[in-house]
Every structure is written in structure tokens, then in C-alpha cells.
């Protein structure tokens, strides 16, 4: 078996992997409006999307030329160079998209493909230039890199990124605002008046999108029909609008939820267009590689130039169907697809809660600017207008707890369909991923989903995703460039090594992602199974486990300091920060927990708030001990003196005794020895005071270094805080559980 046949087989495996990781990332484009609004049971939504994918795959509109000749000129490359170039692109595409899926970040598969092709082509070109193996142009001169690479497409893609982000966000914001003014959150009573026309407009846009973005160039619609529709677009759109509005009116009369039909139709349309136009991103390179291999196999000349790749692609229906089937299976079973979808839905949800992203100076500045702008708006806008607008944006509680309602879902689908259709007709390079994501973000902003409680975190999330899009281009180019250079240099050995590396990275990312999902699923299942009694039991369990971990981490940190054990201290820093993160997140769950608690805990429920707050303070004090301790040893500073170690050992012994008693009381729910803890705490405080006095004497005698003195005093002070808050926690826990007595 020759090397190039092996490469074709590897590319086949990578193509299947590419379909899996690509669909997992792009599912966010067509699923999120339906999933976020809970328009139907999940299996119904997935079935509608699956049908759209199969139809789109079978009617793929011939975009395969992008992978063959859209970025580089194949007639300037030999068969060997083209095969290594394609292999480098597929390695890059699969690994890069899998990383984004594992992180739950939506990105553009088109950008990944185009810049992967560009990077790999540049890498091969540099080898050709350095070796002098350049093709000869018709005028007899040697080709340059400019003759071999089509850099114009790359610049068009970059322009498309900027254009997609701005236009989609602005249109999503404006149209959602107008729509909400018309319908408000209590939209059901307005459906009778405006519903059929609104759904008619939405379905007209969705149909137009499906025809001109998904079915154009296929055999489903005859060429003369398509030509007529393109020539008479306004008449075509008018007929669609009248027809759909009338159908929706009739359906409304027979009590059919026309918004649900609109959302499901939009889901089908986007899934169809996705499969028809983005299939090249997953199998285009593989198909081009197979064609190159067949061309050379027929001629027998492995050194020939690949001008044959400039020929039009003849679609193989079997390949298209198998590709569509793999995409559908992935859609149903991929856990990473759910993770990517969750990112957008979480950023767009109507309610506040635990946020995935943090706060940055940029997001805070944007929010402050918006607040100041709103103050000026309130200053000059008549109060009557303000009251009217405010009344239209009062949310209602959804019985199904959907992240957003059907009105916003239809806006997302309609605006995305219109923008992508308009861009296609004007030959503008708008990205499907960018448009659908930014429309969803714009509509959530306009819908006041980004309130004062969540705005900075949501904006940080959006900026993070956008930054990831730009990094996709840079990373894809860089990795493909490096991989192509390695393949050109190492040939068969490099092919084998990179194949093993790619497989290893895929397996590792899957294992990491599965562990994360398993932990989240267990937490969710435990939460859903909770009744009032088990909520209290969970609280007792969490407090007991947290305090037990605090005891262990504190003890191990001091042991690490005594022995100057850097690895142990690093481990304790990681564990203490994880403990603090959990404790901090628990504070966001306080209100939902209090709501679930019934009458028995009305009088004592506020003690639960104290318990959670004290746990957070204990974990924070522990972090303030572990982190400076690790930094001290990690920076190779001088360790503690013998007398300092003896002081800390006495402190450690007393702290261990206190926490042993605390943990015993928490696990048994017997607080009879609470006064004994108070006595032990006071004895510890006396020991800590004596330790501080001893350290002051050492400082005055210049018997201790500055950094070790600071660390010593930090440990003493944070230990005092930690034990003080632990005793307070114990007391609050006792009063919280008093209603069970």
C-alpha cells in the first residue's frame, strides 16, 4: 500500500471526525432558537433539524471548489504537495474545532477551513521556494508565492467577520425592540390582531432564505423557475407574504399555535442551508484529495501538477447522503453540541443567575456607558412614553421555564434568514455562525435580558466568543502552516506521528469533556430530586464536606511549608481555589433554595443565608493562606526559622483539634459542645497573639527575613479569620436546623 493511499484513508477518518466536530459546533446556528424557546419537545426539534440536514446534504450546492482552488492555485503544486497540504488542513480543522467544542465556544467552520488552507499552502510554498522546485508560468518565469496563493479570499473572509458582527447585532437589536413594543411579553392577546401578518413576514423571510441560500443551484427547483424568481423577486415575495399570512390566519382560527410552526419552519430552513452550504467545510478537502489521487492513479505520474483540480466537482449522491447521515447521528448524540448550544442560550436567557463568564474592565465600561445613556434618555423622554415602553418589557414567568419566549425565537430566525439571504444575493461574505449568534445577542440585549444583575457577565461572554472567532483565523493559519511544514519535512514518519497525536488529542478532549458533563449531570439530578427535607440534608452534607476539606487543606499546606514541598503546595492552592469557587457559586443559589423551603423554615431560613456566607468566608481565608504559601516556596524564598515552625506547629495542632470537634458536631447534628468550641477558639486566639508577639520580637532583632515575616503574619491572621468564621458557621447551622427539632 503506497503512502498516498494511506493518506487518503487517514483523510477519510478525519473527514468523518470533521463531520462530527463540525456539526457539534454549527448545531448552535439552527437549534438554539427552538431549544431556547422550548417550542416543542427536544425530539421533535431534532427530527425537524435532521430532515433539514438530509435534504440540505443531498442538494449541496456545489461549494466544493472552495477546498480545491478557492485559496490556492492547484496547477502550481505537485500531487505530493497537494496531498500533504490537504492532510495538514484536515488535521488542523479537526483538532481546532474539537478544542472549541470542548470549551463550549461557537466558531466558524468556514474560517477554520479557509485559513487552514491558506496556512498549509503558505507552508508548502516556503518549502518550494527554499528548494527551488517552483512551477514555470506561461511566460517562462518562475512562479512566486503571489502566483500560488489566492490571498484575496482571506481578506474577504476577514471583512465578512467584521461585517457580520456589526450588522447582525444592530439588526437583531432594532427589530427585537420594535417587535417587543408591538407584542410585549403578553403576546398571546396580540396574536389575533398582528399574529398572522407577523408569522407571514417571518415565514416569507425563512422561505426566501431556504430557496436562495439552500436550494439554489440544485435539481429540486427547475432552473427556469429559479431564474423567474430572481428576476421577479418583489412579486415572488409579495405572493409568499400574502399566502403565508392567509394560511397562518386560518391556522390561528382553528387554535393552532402559529408561532411554534414559524419557529420549527425556521429551524428546518437553517438546518437545510447549513448542510447545503457548509458541507464543504467538513468533506470538501477529503473529496479533493480523493479526486487528486484518482487523477494521478489514472496517469501514473506522481510528479504531475494538479491542474485537474480546477475542473468542476461532480457531486456523488452516496457520499452526500452518508455525510448527511453522520451529521444527523452527531446531532442526536453529541454531548459537545449540547455544550456549545448551552453557551449561547446561557448568554441570551431572560433570567439572571449563575453566569459562566466573569467581569472585565471593557464590559464594565460598556455597562457604565449604557447606564449614563439611559439616564439621559429618562431625562428628556416624556414620562408617558417611558411608562408605555416599560409596560411592554415587563417579563412574565414561563411555566415551562424556557430561557426566552417564542417571539424572540421568531425574531432570531427571521432576522438571521433575511441577513444571510440578502448577503448571498449581494455576494457579501457573511458567516452563518456569526450572523445567528450576533442576532441572538442583539435580540437578548433589546429584550432587556441583560439587566444590571447580568450585563457585565453577558458582555464579557459575547466579547470572548468574538475574540475566539478572530483567533480561529490566526490559530488555523498557524497550526496548518506548522503541520504542513512538518509533513513536508518528515513525509511518512511525520504522517504516522501526527495521526497518532491527533487521535490522542481527540480522545483526551472527549474524556475531559465527559468527566465535566458527568459532574454537572450528577449535580443537576441531585438538585431536581430535592424536596424540602432533602434540601436541608444537602445543606448539612455540603457544610460537613466543605469543613472536612478545609481541615485537610489547611493541615497539608502547613506540612508543605514545613517541608518546602512545592508540588504539595501547588496541589493545595488548586484544591482551595476549587473549594472557594464552589462556595462562591453557592451564594447565587441561596434565593432559589429559600423559595423551595416551606413554612417550617420561615423563621430560621435567614440562618441558611448566614451559613452560606460563612462558608464563603472560610474558603476565602483558606485561599489567602495557600496561595501566598505556594508563591513563597515557588519563588525560592528562604523558609521559616525553627522557632517560627514550632509556633506554627502549635497553631496547627490546636486548629486540627478544633476542626475535629467541629466536623464531629456537624456530621452528627449534635451541637451540645458549642461552648467547648468557644473555649478552644479563645485558647487558639491566645496562642496566635503570643505567636504575633514573638514574630514582632524577631523582626526588631532582624532575625527574620521580610518575606517570611509577611507570610508568617498572613497565615496567623487568616487562621484567626478562618476559625472565627467556622465557629460562626457552626452556630448558624445549629439555629437553621432548629425547626427540625
CATH code for position 662:
1.20.58.220
How many domains are there within the chain? Answer: 2
- Of 479, 498, 520, which residue constitutes the final position of a domain? 520
The pLDDT value recorded for residue 1 is 43
pLDDT greater than 70 at residue 378: yes
Q: Does 106 map to a domain?
A: yes
- Distances in Å between the alpha carbon of 156 and those of 118, 123, 172, 422, 433? 13, 21, 23, 17, 16
CA-to-CA distance for 520 and 510, rounded, in angstroms? 15
139-148, 372-381, 681-690: least confident range: 139-148
Let me know whether 602 and 498 are in one domain.
no
Let me know whether 552 and 470 are in one domain.
no
The pLDDT value recorded for residue 627 is 92
Among 371, 480, 543, 397, residue whose Cα is nearest residue 89: 480
Cβ neighbours of 491 (radius 10 Å)? 13
What grid cell was written down for 210?
431556504
34-48, 92-106, 163-177: least confident range: 92-106
Q: Does 702 map to a domain?
A: yes
Let me know whether 13 and 114 are in one domain.
yes
313-327, 484-498, 593-607, 694-708: least confident range: 593-607
CA-to-CA distance for 46 and 110, rounded, in angstroms? 23
Domain residue limits at 288: 3-520
Do 593 and 563 contact (CB within 8 A), yes or no? no
Let me know whether 508 and 539 are in one domain.
no
Q: Does 526 map to a domain?
A: no
Let me know whether 552 and 510 are in one domain.
no
pLDDT greater than 60 at residue 659: yes
132-136, 272-276, 672-676: least confident range: 132-136
Most confident of 238-242, 312-316, 360-364: 238-242
- Of 487, 520, 553, which residue constitutes the final position of a domain? 520
The pLDDT value recorded for residue 532 is 46
Let me know whether 446 and 562 are in one domain.
no
Let me know whether 119 and 192 are in one domain.
yes
Let me know whether 162 and 124 are in one domain.
yes
Average pLDDT, the chain: 77
The whole-model pTM stands at 0.68
Share of the chain above pLDDT 70, in %: 77
pLDDT greater than 60 at residue 529: no
Q: Does 692 map to a domain?
A: yes
Residue whose entry in the numeric block shows the C-alpha cell 448545531: 27
Let me know whether 487 and 543 are in one domain.
no
Over residues 7-48, the pLDDT tens digits come to: 888 888 888 877 777 776 666 667 778 877 787 888 888 888
pLDDT greater than 80 at residue 51: yes
Q: What angle do CA 60, 66, 72 make, to 5 degrees?
A: 165
Do 79 and 345 contact (CB within 8 A), yes or no? no
- Of 520, 547, 577, which residue constitutes the final position of a domain? 520
Q: Does 187 map to a domain?
A: yes
DSSP state letters, 281-309: IIIIHHHHHHHHHHHHHHH--TT-B-GGG
pLDDT greater than 70 at residue 722: yes
pLDDT greater than 70 at residue 95: yes
Let me know whether 606 and 709 are in one domain.
yes
Let me know whether 513 and 536 are in one domain.
no
- Distances in Å between the alpha carbon of 715 and those of 478, 571, 627? 46, 18, 11
Q: Does 525 map to a domain?
A: no
- Distances in Å between the alpha carbon of 651 and those of 355, 379, 556, 683? 39, 60, 13, 10
Let me know whether 103 and 37 are in one domain.
yes
Over residues 595-649, the pLDDT tens digits come to: 555 555 555 567 777 888 888 888 889 999 999 999 888 888 887 888 888 888 8
**Rounded mean pLDDT, 664-687:** 83
The pLDDT value recorded for residue 84 is 85
Amino acid at each position: 500500500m503506497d503512502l498516498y493511499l494511506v493518506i487518503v484513508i487517514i483523510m477519510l477518518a478525519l473527514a468523518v471526525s470533521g463531520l462530527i466536530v463540525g456539526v457539534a459546533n454549527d448545531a448552535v446556528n439552527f437549534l438554539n432558537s427552538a431549544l431556547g424557546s422550548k417550542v416543542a419537545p427536544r425530539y421533535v426539534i431534532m427530527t425537524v433539524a435532521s430532515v433539514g440536514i438530509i435534504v440540505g446534504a443531498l442538494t449541496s450546492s456545489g461549494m466544493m471548489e472552495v477546498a480545491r482552488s478557492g485559496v490556492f492555485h492547484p496547477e502550481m503544486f505537485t500531487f505530493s504537495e497537494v496531498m500533504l497540504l490537504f492532510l495538514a488542513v484536515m488535521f488542523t480543522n479537526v483538532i481546532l474545532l474539537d478544542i472549541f467544542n470542548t470549551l463550549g465556544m461557537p466558531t466558524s467552520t468556514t474560517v477554520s477551513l479557509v485559513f487552514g488552507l491558506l496556512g498549509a499552502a503558505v507552508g508548502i510554498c516556503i518549502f518550494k521556494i527554499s528548494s527551488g522546485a517552483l512551477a514555470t508560468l506561461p511566460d517562462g518565469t518562475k512562479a512566486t508565492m503571489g502566483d500560488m496563493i489566492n490571498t484575496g479570499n482571506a481578506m474577504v473572509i476577514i471583512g465578512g467577520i467584521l461585517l457580520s458582527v456589526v450588522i447582525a447585532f444592530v439588526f437583531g437589536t432594532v427589530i427585537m425592540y420594535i417587535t417587543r413594543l408591538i407584542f410585549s411579553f403578553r403576546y398571546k392577546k396580540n396574536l389575533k390582531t398582528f399574529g398572522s401578518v407577523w408569522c407571514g413576514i417571518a415565514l416569507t423571510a425563512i422561505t426566501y432564505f431556504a430557496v436562495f441560500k439552500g436550494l439554489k443551484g440544485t435539481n429540486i427547483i427547475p432552473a427556469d423557475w429559479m431564474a423567474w424568481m430572481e428576476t421577479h423577486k418583489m412579486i415572488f415575495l409579495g405572493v409568499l407574504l400574502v399566502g403565508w399570512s392567509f394560511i397562518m390566519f386560518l391556522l390561528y382560527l382553528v387554535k393552532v399555535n402559529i408561532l411554534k410552526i414559524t419557529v420549527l419552519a425556521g429551524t428546518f430552513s437553517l438546518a437545510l442551508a447549513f448542510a447545503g452550504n457548509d458541507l464543504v467545510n467538513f468533506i470538501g478537502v477529503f473529496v479533493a484529495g480523493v479526486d487528486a489521487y484518482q487523477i494521478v492513479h489514472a496517469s501514473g505520474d506522481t510528479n504531475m501538477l494538479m491542474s485537474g483540480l480546477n475542473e468542476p466537482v461532480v457531486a456523488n449522491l452516496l457520499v452526500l447522503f452518508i455525510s448527511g447521515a453522520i451529521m444527523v447521528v452527531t446531532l442526536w448524540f453529541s454531548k459537545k453540541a449540547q455544550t456549545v448550544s448551552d453557551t449561547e442560550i446561557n448568554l441570551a436567557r431572560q433570567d439572571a443567575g449563575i453566569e459562566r463568564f466573569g467581569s472585565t474592565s471593557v464590559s464594565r465600561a460598556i455597562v457604565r456607558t449604557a447606564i449614563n445613556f439611559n439616564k439621559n434618555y429618562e431625562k428628556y423622554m416624556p414620562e408617558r412614553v417611558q411608562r408605555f415602553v416599560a409596560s411592554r418589557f415587563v417579563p412574565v414567568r414561563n411555566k415551562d421555564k424556557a430561557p426566552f419566549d417564542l417571539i424572540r425565537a421568531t425574531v432570531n430566525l427571521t432576522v438571521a434568514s433575511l441577513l444571510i439571504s440578502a448577503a448571498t444575493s449581494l455576494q457579501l461574505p457573511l458567516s452563518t455562525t456569526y450572523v445567528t449568534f450576533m442576532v441572538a445577542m442583539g435580540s437578548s440585549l433589546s429584550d432587556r435580558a441583560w439587566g444590571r444583575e447580568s450585563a457585565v457577565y453577558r458582555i464579557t461572554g459575547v466579547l470572548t466568543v468574538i475574540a475566539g472567532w478572530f483567533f480561529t483565523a490566526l490559530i488555523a493559519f498557524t497550526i496548518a502552516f506548522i503541520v504542513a511544514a512538518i509533513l513536508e519535512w518528515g513525509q511518512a514518519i511525520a504522517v504516522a506521528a501526527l495521526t497518532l497525536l491527533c487521535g490522542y488529542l481527540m480522545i483526551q478532549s472527549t474524556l475531559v469533556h465527559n468527566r465535566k458533563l458527568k459532574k454537572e449531570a450528577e449535580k443537576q439530578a441531585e438538585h431536581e430530586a430535592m424536596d424540602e427535607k432533602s434540601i436541608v440534608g444537602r445543606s448539612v452534607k455540603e457544610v460537613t464536606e466543605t469543613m472536612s476539606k478545609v481541615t485537610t487543606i489547611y493541615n497539608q499546606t502547613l506540612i508543605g511549608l514545613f517541608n518546602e514541598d512545592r508540588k504539595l503546595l501547588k496541589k493545595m492552592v488548586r484544591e482551595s481555589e476549587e473549594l472557594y469557587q464552589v462556595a462562591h457559586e453557592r451564594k447565587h443559589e441561596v434565593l432559589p433554595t429559600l423559595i423551595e423551603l416551606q413554612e417550617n423554615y420561615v423563621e430560621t431560613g435567614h440562618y441558611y443565608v448566614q451559613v452560606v456566607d460563612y462558608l464563603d468566608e472560610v474558603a476565602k481565608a483558606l485561599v489567602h493562606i495557600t496561595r501566598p504559601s505556594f508563591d513563597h516556596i515557588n519563588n525560592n524564598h528562604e523558609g521559616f526559622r525553627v522557632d517560627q515552625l514550632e509556633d506554627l506547629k502549635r497553631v496547627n495542632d490546636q486548629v486540627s483539634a478544633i476542626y475535629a470537634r467541629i466536623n464531629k458536631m456537624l456530621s452528627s447534628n449534635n451541637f451540645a459542645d458549642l461552648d467547648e468550641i468557644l473555649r478552644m477558639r479563645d485558647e487558639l486566639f491566645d496562642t496566635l497573639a503570643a505567636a504575633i508577639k514573638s514574630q514582632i520580637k524577631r523582626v526588631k532583632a532582624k532575625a527574620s527575613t521580610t518575606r517570611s515575616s509577611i507570610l508568617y503574619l498572613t497565615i496567623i491572621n487568616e487562621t484567626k479569620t478562618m476559625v472565627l468564621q467556622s465557629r460562626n458557621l457552626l452556630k448558624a447551622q445549629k439555629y437553621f436546623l432548629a425547626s427540625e427539632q
